[in-house]
């Protein structure tokens, strides 16, 4: 097992592999980190900060570009998620640096998905987007995505998104996502029904008596 020292940028979000993430950098410690990323190609980790602590799982990200440099040193940057890691020891700060780091183990992203589970998941997402009037592109078919690709669109809490990140197999993540959507969708359907009923208040109704 190979341990790597990786700079850390804890945030109150979950970042997934292959995700594009835009960030505004203003703290001196992270300006130092981004400067090193730009000059030396240093990657860094974004672990989830949850329940007032840095969680052990995170996603290694790569700096793609610095889009804007502001007066005072702040920056707008674009990054991309590379892969999931598990933290072994958090070091704050790394000696000689302003920012924190951690010894980590890089984890392989399992891509062995179940086609039928993806088909069911995609059907649920299509219904969810329709109910919520969300105009976002979805995968073209069940073989075009992993759960990480659509996780932010499924209405999960940060805790649920983190739990998904920490799972080791794609089939486990698929089952978790489907279970969530099967609990979440009935609530969204009921909210939509209530909304439609509220819109009818004050209007003449053409209702057929039940008996």
What are the extents of the domains in the chain? 4-106, 115-200
Tens-digit pLDDT profile for residues 46-58: 999 999 999 999 9
Tens-digit pLDDT profile for residues 70-112: 999 999 999 999 999 999 999 999 999 999 999 999 999 999 9
193: pLDDT strictly greater than 90: no
What does the buried/exposed string (b/e) look like for 1-39 if buried means 16 or more CB atoms within 10 Å of the residue's CB? eeeeebbbbbeeebbbbebebebebeeeebbbbbebbee
CATH 2.30.130.40 fits 4-106, yes or no: yes
1: pLDDT strictly greater than 90: no
What's the pTM?
A: 0.90
């Amino acid at each position: 097992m190979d341990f790597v020292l990786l700079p850390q940028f804890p945030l109150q979000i979950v970042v997934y592999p292959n995700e594009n993430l835009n960030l505004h950098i203003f703290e001196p410690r992270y300006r130092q980190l981004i400067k090193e990323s730009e000059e030396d190609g240093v990657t860094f980790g974004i672990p989830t900060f949850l329940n007032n602590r840095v969680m052990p799982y995170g996603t290694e990200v790569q700096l793609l570009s610095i889009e804007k440099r502001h007066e005072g040193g702040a920056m707008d940057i674009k990054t991309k998620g590379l892969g999931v890691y598990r933290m072994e020891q958090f070091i704050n700060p790394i000696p000689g640096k302003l920012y924190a780091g951690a010894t980590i183990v890089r984890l392989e992203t399992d891509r062995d998905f179940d086609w039928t589970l993806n088909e069911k998941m995609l059907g649920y997402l299509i219904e969810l987007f329709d109910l919520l009037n969300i105009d976002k592109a979805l995968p073209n078919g069940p073989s075009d995505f992993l759960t990480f690709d659509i996780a932010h669109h499924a209405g999960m809490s940060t805790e649920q998104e983190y739990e998904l990140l920490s799972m080791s197999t794609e089939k486990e993540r698929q089952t978790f996502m489907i279970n969530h959507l099967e609990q979440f969708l009935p609530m969204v359907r009921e909210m939509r029904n209530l909304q439609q009923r509220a819109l009818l208040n004050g209007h003449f109704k053409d209702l057929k008596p039940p008996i």
